[in-house]
Chain A
Amino acid sequence: MIQDTSSDGSAEEDRMWISVFQEGEISVFGRIFDKYKSRVVNIAFRILREKSAAEDIAQDVFIKVYEKKYRFDPNARFSTWLYRVTVNASLDVLRKKKFFGPSLNSVLRRGGEKNSSPLEMLADPAPRSDEKMEKEELKILLQKEIDGLPEGLKIPLVLHQFEELSYQEISRILNISVKAVERRLYRARMRLRKVLRSRI
């Protein structure tokens, strides 16, 4: 289970670790890495929908944490900063992919990844009932719709619905008001429900 990293207790622990790390105690960095690695990979995965790309992004983010430790203000909330860097790095890759198209490597890698292609899911040879098939198709449709959401709607949805971050944490990560987070979540859900209504 991923640890809740938005609580004050967790923030206090991070503050202490970051201060010690900035003073030169490198071993503390291992604890920071272990605490947040899954969450960082998950956030990147929700945006990029490719596990290997998400893991690459996560490693780059932690390298940045390791090398740029002096840039971080230990009094600020570390998790917010970390998730913000992760979201921005993931969006950079996503935008490049949209601009340049998928690289050959990513196309080749995708062949070995689970749940990365709707066609792979549909092509599963295991016999399924009609109801299960319809549910799978609906999942594929919804995931495609989420992938097609504008960034401004997709990121709050991903962070709240999949990563279970609070409105406050999302507002800090994206540097927008809590009301703006609520509005964007509402609009994202409305769009997805519209798709569902056409199928139900």
Chain B
Amino acid sequence: MNCGQVQKKIDRWIDSRLGEAEADMLSKHLEGCPACAGEAESARVLKEFLVEGRPAPDLSPGFDAAFWGKIAARERRPRLRMLLDVFEDLVPFPSVPQLAGVLVAALFVGATGGAVSAGIAPFPIESKKSAVLYLSGFPHFKGVPQPSLAGTYIEAVSGENPS
């Protein structure tokens, strides 16, 4: 068994989870290798520390009472608030990436150019034009090949041929 193999098996050896044959080989290696023996010692001390650290502080005496007090307070919320909370439970909340995707799409999709073109587009807004045309600064989206995904998209939302 070489040092690399010993390093990987030391934790299991300390936990007595190695088979007998492997454990013997590892022990023999440690007898002749001060570096690995040092590693084994530090693994043993670490395990001792982690085991000693297991007991966590007991719960505070008033923990239960404080919790049930909070539950009771929430039960006293106005009925409308409780109903809204229940409704929120039943309706799946979109994840952040989903929400971000919807917002980005809303900025760029739409017959009237979306939210962005309404606020910041420097060019005159004509009806039924895609916001992409305005944000790009070109009256026509030059360089977009007709038989392309981008071209198909622009044609679909704006009714214009981008090439």
Contact = CB atoms under 8 A, between A and B. Distances in A.
Contact of A200 (B42, B50, B70, B74): B42
Interface of B: 8, 11, 38-39, 41-43, 45-46, 49-50, 52-54, 56-57, 59-60, 63-64, 66-67, 70-71, 74, 85-86, 89-90
A175 interface: no
A142 interface: yes
Interface string A178-195: 000000001001001100
25 contacts: A37-B67, A38-B56, A38-B59, A45-B56, A51-B60, A52-B60, A55-B59, A55-B63, A55-B66, A59-B63, A59-B67, A63-B70, A67-B74, A68-B89, A70-B86, A71-B89, A114-B57, A138-B49, A139-B52, A161-B50, A162-B50, A162-B54, A196-B45, A197-B39, A200-B41
Interface residues of A, number: 35
Nearest to B39: A193
A46 interface: yes
Contacts of B8: 186
Interface of B is mostly: helix
A63 B54 contact: no
A41 B70 contact: no
B46 A189 contact: yes
Contacts of B59: 37-38, 41, 55
A33 interface: yes
